[in-house]
Every structure is written in C-alpha cells, then in structure tokens.
C-alpha cells in the first residue's frame, strides 16, 4: 500500500486526477472504476477542467460504478447513475459517453440477477484498469459493510444504520428516505481491479483509515483487504491521516517514491 498524506482535500484531488490523466494518456481505452459520495467530487471537477483544457478525455474509455441503491426512483438526483452522469457525462463533462457509463440496474425486477449481470459485464470487458474508492466511517468500500466476505463478487446487500445516518445528508437529513438495499461490487470484484486509488478526507474518516491501513486484515474493517492488493494507493488529507501511527514514515517514503 502506498500512502500519500497531503494538506487538504484539494491537494489529494490534484494528485488523484493527475494519476488518472496519466493512465488515459497511456491508454485512452482504459476502464475507470468510479466511486460516488462526496469524496471524489473534487477529483471529478479537476478531470472536467483537464478535459476542457484538452489534457484529458474519457471519449474512448469506459466507466463502471462501484454500487447503486436499489429501489430509488430513476429520476432521483441521488441515484448514483444520475450523480455520475452529472459529474462525468452531461455537457461533455469529460468526453465519457452515456452508453459507456455502466451502473448496476437498480430497476431490474430481480436485483440478484442485476448483480450477476453486472459482475459478468465487468469480467467481459477484462476488468477495471483503475478503481477510485472512498471509505465509509465504518470502513466499507463500495457498499461492502462490516462482515461481508473478503472474496465476495457483485451482490445485493443491506446498508448499515451508520451508513444510512452518514448518507442522510444527501436526502434532506431524512434517514427514512435513504434506501436500505443496494447492489455493490464485492470485495473480490474490487480487488480484481489492476490498480486501486482510495481517497479519504476529513477527521470523521481517521479511525477507518487507521484500521484499514495499520490494522489487521479483517471483514470487520472491509477496506483492510486493500493491504492484499499489489497496486493500491491511499491518498489522505492531514485530518484523515491523523490517527496513523507511522504517518511520518509514509510521508518520507512517498517523497522518495516520487523522487
């Protein structure tokens, strides 16, 4: 795991966006795994700016979402497909075409079938080149809540109460408006991405960051599985890094690695 610690969320986003821009400069047909939630939004904004400046394009690429709510109306602004359309597709945001943005089918009459189809679609394209991730305060990545199998594939699951509390801010602070069910890439699916880029910012993430980076690999803190990935990079702001025991060493090593 490479761990980079930066002054603030903007600096994390700047580093993340340059990694993604380099990837698509090397291979414009790459497959980007896209996370939702608020953490990646500054990165998406920088990708849009780079697209406007002619330095970046997803026109030949594909994007796969990590997860989607089940039972959310198709026109709901918090439906993850809609969030990703706004950030990456609409008004030629990044060049990504609507048909090349793939999200689990939350309206499928049988969500289990939708989950299996989504897993097959990721496999058929040859897997994700680089997966962007956020982290939940309970350590989830995607919607893989504590106790999920560490090798699970895309599946239907239920949100923890803590996650629904955390996400209520997107639903007018009404927890009963937050869906209870989701389709999510499993930890096994996420681990099959060639490269992982996890972003975490803010004090509220400090405990989860400490556990996934320095704790034991355990289904109790699902993001800890990333310790088993050969190409996982974790980008943190000072607040999210504030519980790390070896923060100084990570800073030195990052500087040497960039060096």
- Is the separation of the CB atoms in 141 and 187 below 8 Å? yes
Using the contact rule CB under 6 A, the part of the chain among 36-44, 77-85, 176-184, 241-249 near ligand PGA is 36-44
Q: What is the rounded (10 degree) CA torsion for 211, 12, 97, 190?
A: -20
- Is the separation of the CB atoms in 25 and 57 below 8 Å? no
- Asked if 161 is an active-site residue, the reply is no
Both tokens of 164, joined, read 């629904």
Contact string 37-66 vs ligand PGA (x = CB under 6 A): xxx---------------------------
In whole angstroms, the minimum distance from the beta carbon of 230 to ligand PGA comes to: 22
Closest CA to 180 of 163, 195, 202, 197: 163
* Nearer CB in complex with ligand PGA: 32/135: 135
* Nearer CB in complex with ligand PGA: 57/154: 154
* Nearer CB in complex with ligand PGA: 37/111: 37
- Asked if 239 is an active-site residue, the reply is no
Secondary structure of residue 64 in the 3-state scheme: strand
- Asked if 140 is an active-site residue, the reply is yes
CA–CA separation, 239 and 7 (whole Å): 9
* Nearer CB in complex with ligand PGA: 36/57: 36
Per-residue HEC secondary structure of 198-222 comes to EEECCHHHHHHHHHHHHCCCECCEH
Q: Under the criterion CB under 6 A, does residue 4 sit at the interface with ligand PGA? A: no
Binding residues with ligand PGA: total (CB under 6 A) = 6
Catalytic residue among 51, 68, 102, 140: 140
Sheet holding 155-158: strands in order across? 67-70, 181-184, 155-158
* Nearer CB in complex with ligand PGA: 38/227: 38
Position of tokens 């680089």? 130
Catalytic residue among 68, 105, 119, 145: 145
- Is the separation of the CB atoms in 184 and 154 below 8 Å? yes
Using the contact rule CB under 6 A, the part of the chain among 78-86, 132-140, 226-234, 248-256 near ligand PGA is 132-140
Which residue's Cβ lies closest to ligand PGA? 37
CA–CA separation, 16 and 5 (whole Å): 12
In whole angstroms, the minimum distance from the beta carbon of 39 to ligand PGA comes to: 3
Q: Under the criterion CB under 6 A, does residue 134 sit at the interface with ligand PGA? A: yes
Would you tell me which residues interact with ligand PGA (CB under 6 A)?
37-39, 134-136
Q: Annotated active-site positions, please?
A: 67, 138, 140, 145
């Amino acid at each position: 795991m490479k761990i980079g610690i930066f002054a603030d969320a903007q600096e994390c986003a700047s580093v993340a966006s340059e990694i993604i821009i380099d990837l698509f400069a090397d291979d414009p047909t790459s497959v980007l795994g896209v996370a939702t939630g608020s953490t990646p939004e500054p990165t998406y904004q920088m990708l849009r700016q780079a697209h406007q400046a002619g330095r970046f394009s997803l026109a030949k690429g594909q994007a796969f979402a990590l997860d989607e709510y089940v039972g959310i109306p198709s026109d709901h602004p918090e439906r993850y497909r809609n969030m990703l359309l706004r950030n990456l597709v609409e008004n030629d945001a990044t060049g990504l075409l609507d048909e090349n943005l793939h999200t689990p089918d939350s309206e499928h009459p049988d969500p289990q079938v939708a989950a299996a189809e989504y897993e097959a679609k990721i496999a058929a394209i040859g897997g994700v080149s680089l997966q962007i991730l956020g982290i939940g305060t309970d350590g989830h990545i995607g919607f893989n809540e504590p106790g999920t199998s560490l090798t699970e594939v895309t599946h239907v699951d239920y949100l923890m109460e803590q996650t629904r509390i955390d996400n209520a801010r997107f639903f007018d602070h009404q927890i009963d408006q937050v869906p209870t069910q989701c389709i999510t890439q499993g930890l096994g699916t996420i681990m099959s991405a060639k490269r992982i880029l996890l972003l975490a910012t803010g004090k509220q993430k400090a405990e989860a960051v400490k556990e996934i980076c320095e704790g034991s690999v355990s289904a109790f803190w699902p993001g800890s599985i990333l310790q088993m990935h050969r190409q996982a990079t974790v980008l943190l702001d000072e607040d999210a890094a504030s519980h790390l025991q070896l923060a100084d060493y990570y800073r030195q090593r990052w500087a040497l690695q960039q060096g």
